[in-house]
Chain A
C-alpha cells in the first residue's frame, strides 16, 4: 500500500527525508508533499462532501490534486498527516510576556490555568482537529506526524523575549494535550526522534534548518523523522493496524 504524507510546511523536510531513504536505503516509494503553510491550518480548510473529506482551502485543494492526484481523502489510502504541534503559533504570542502557565508558579505573571491553557491549545488546533475528525468519520485511518521540537528562539531574529523555560513549558504541555486528544480517537502520532532534541528539549542546531528560519527541521531531521515514520508503519503492518477499515 502506498503511503501518502501531506501537511504543512514541516512536510518539506519529510519529503527530503523520504527521497533520501528511497534512494539510499531502499525504502518503498511513497508520496510526500506539503499542501501549504501553517497559516492555512489556522482557518477552516476542510469539509465532508458526499461522504468524503475535501479540502476547501484553494491552495490545499490544488496541491492535493497536483501532487497526489486526488480531490478527496478516500478510505482505501493510508495517510500520514503532518499537522499539529506547530506550537510556535502559541508560544510566540506576546501575551506570554506578562503571563505564564500556572504550574510554573511564576511570580508577577498572570497565571494561565490548565483549563485555560487547554482552551488555548484547542483554539489553535481547532481546524486540524476538525479535519482529523472528518477523516475518521469518513473511514480514513490517518496517523499524525508531529512538527519538530521547537527551535530555540533567537530573540534577535524572532523578537521574542520569552524565557526558554516558558516556551518549553508551553510546547511540552501542548504536545501532551494534542497526544491525549489523538489517543482518545485512536489516532497514532509519530513524535520527533528523542535524539534530535537537546538537553532542554529544543531541536538540536544540526537538525534545524537554521538561518532566519525559526521553526523548521532540515533534511537531516527529515531523514531521522521519516525513519521513525517508516518504523511506525512497519510496526502497524505487522499488527495489521494500517490495513484500511472500510466497515
Chain B
C-alpha cells in the first residue's frame, strides 16, 4: 500500500542512513540550502568551536573577512594568542545571540554598558572580550584605545558581509543586572570581581533566543538586504552549569534549545541554513568518537570530520533543492 514514506529518500530512514554506516562513513548528513560562492564575503562569530569554521573558510580560499587583522609584524601563533584571526574581528568567543546583538549595538554607539574596564591584579581587561589580551592591558587607557579601534572595525562588518556564520554556544550566561549587558564570562571566574548585587545568572529560553536571533537577522539585513546566514550549534558541552541541575542534563537542555532555535529559523527563513556540526560530533551514533577522553573537548579528528562534511557538501556543487532526492527506500514500512 502506498504511503508518503515510500517516496522518501534513503537518507530519511535510520537503517539505511545511520545503522548501516560507521560514524565516519555516514553520508548526506548535510545538504547545503544555498551555494557559498568564492565571491561571497563571509564573516563569522560564535562560541569557541566557531574558530575552526572561520579558520577553515580562510584556509580553503573562501572570501573570509577579517575586519581587524593582526599586525603584520607578528607570527600566526602570536596572533592567535592575542585573539586575532579567530573570527572576523577581535571579539573573542561570543556564546549567546544576545551578546552578539549587543556587540553591534555597542559598535554603533547605541549601547554603552556599565561594565567599562575590569581591573584585576593591576592589569586591565575588556569585560566583553577578556581573553583577547593575555595578561590584560597595561593601563585602562590602553584598553580603551584598543576597544575603540575594535568597535570601529565591527561597525564596518555587516555592510560588507554576504554570509554571516554564527555558532550558537550556550544558553547560560551572566549579565549585568542594571543594564542587562551579557558578558562572555562570569565576573570573578578568571578576571573581574563577582558582585551578586550587580551580576546575575541568565539561562536564556527558547523564545528569548529566537527573538534575539531574529533581531540580529533584521538588523543585519538592514545593512545588507541580501545577507544569508549559516547557523551551527557547538558540540562542546558546558564546562560548568550555574543551574541546580547536573551538568549533563544542563548541557542537553542548552544544546537542545539552541538546536530548536536553529530549526525554527531555518524553517522560517529561506536565507538561513543550518549545518549539523553538533549532530556530527555529539549525537549518539557517533559513539563519542570525536571527543577527547574528557568527553568535552572535540578531538582534531572530530573537527576534521565536521569540516570535511561541510566543505565536501559545498564542493559537490549546487545547493540541494527540496525534494530533488527521491530514492524509494525499502525502509518505508518501518517508519
Look across to chain B and name the residue whose beta carbon is closest to the beta carbon of A97. Answer: B72
Q: Contact between B74 and A111 (Cβ–Cβ < 8 Å)?
A: no
Determine whether B120 belongs to the interface, using a CB cutoff of 8 Å to chain A: no
Q: Which of B110-165 contact A (CB under 8 A)?
A: 133-135, 137-139, 141-142, 145-146, 149
Determine whether B71 belongs to the interface, using a CB cutoff of 8 Å to chain A: yes
Q: Scoring A residues 61 to 99 as 1 if CB is less than 8 Å from chain B, else 0, what string do you get?
A: 000000000000000000000000000001001111011
Q: Contact between B72 and A114 (Cβ–Cβ < 8 Å)?
A: no
Determine whether B57 belongs to the interface, using a CB cutoff of 8 Å to chain A: no
Number of A residues near B (Cβ < 8 Å) is 21
CB within 8 A of B149: which of A90, A96, A103, A111? A111
**Interface hub of A96, A111, A113 (most chain B Cβ within 10 A):** A113
Q: Contact between A114 and B142 (Cβ–Cβ < 8 Å)?
A: yes
Measured between C-beta atoms, what is the minimum distance from B288 to chain A in Å?
Answer: 38
Q: Contact between A116 and B138 (Cβ–Cβ < 8 Å)?
A: no
CB within 8 A of A113: which of B68, B72, B146? B146
Determine whether A119 belongs to the interface, using a CB cutoff of 8 Å to chain B: yes
A99: chain B residues within 8 A (beta carbon):
71-73
Q: Scoring A residues 113 to 147 as 1 if CB is less than 8 Å from chain B, else 0, what string do you get?
A: 11110011001000000000000000000000000
B135: chain A residues within 8 A (beta carbon):
115
CB within 8 A of B72: which of A93, A111, A119, A123? A93
Q: Contact between A95 and B138 (Cβ–Cβ < 8 Å)?
A: no
Determine whether A112 belongs to the interface, using a CB cutoff of 8 Å to chain B: yes
A110 to B73, CA, bound (A): 11
Q: Which of B196-222 contact A (CB under 8 A)?
A: none
Measured between C-beta atoms, what is the minimum distance from B159 to chain A in Å?
Answer: 18
Measured between C-beta atoms, what is the minimum distance from B83 to chain A in Å?
Answer: 10
Question: Count the A-B residue pairs with Cβ separation under 8 angstroms: how many?
Answer: 57
Known: A102-B145, A102-B146, A103-B142. A113 touches B133 (CB 8 A): yes
A95 to B69, CA, bound (A): 11
Q: Scoring B residues 72 to 98 as 1 if CB is less than 8 Å from chain A, else 0, what string do you get?
A: 111100100010000000000000000
Known: A95-B71, A95-B72. A119 touches B78 (CB 8 A): yes
Q: A110-B71, A115-B137 are in contact. List 14 more A-B contacts (CB 8 A).
A: A94-B72, A96-B73, A98-B71, A103-B142, A111-B146, A111-B149, A112-B73, A113-B137, A114-B137, A115-B133, A115-B135, A116-B74, A116-B82, A123-B78
Complex A-B: 23 CB contacts under 8 Å? A93-B73, A96-B73, A99-B72, A99-B73, A105-B141, A105-B145, A109-B149, A110-B69, A110-B71, A111-B142, A111-B146, A112-B73, A113-B133, A113-B138, A113-B146, A114-B137, A114-B139, A115-B135, A115-B138, A116-B78, A119-B78, A120-B74, A123-B75
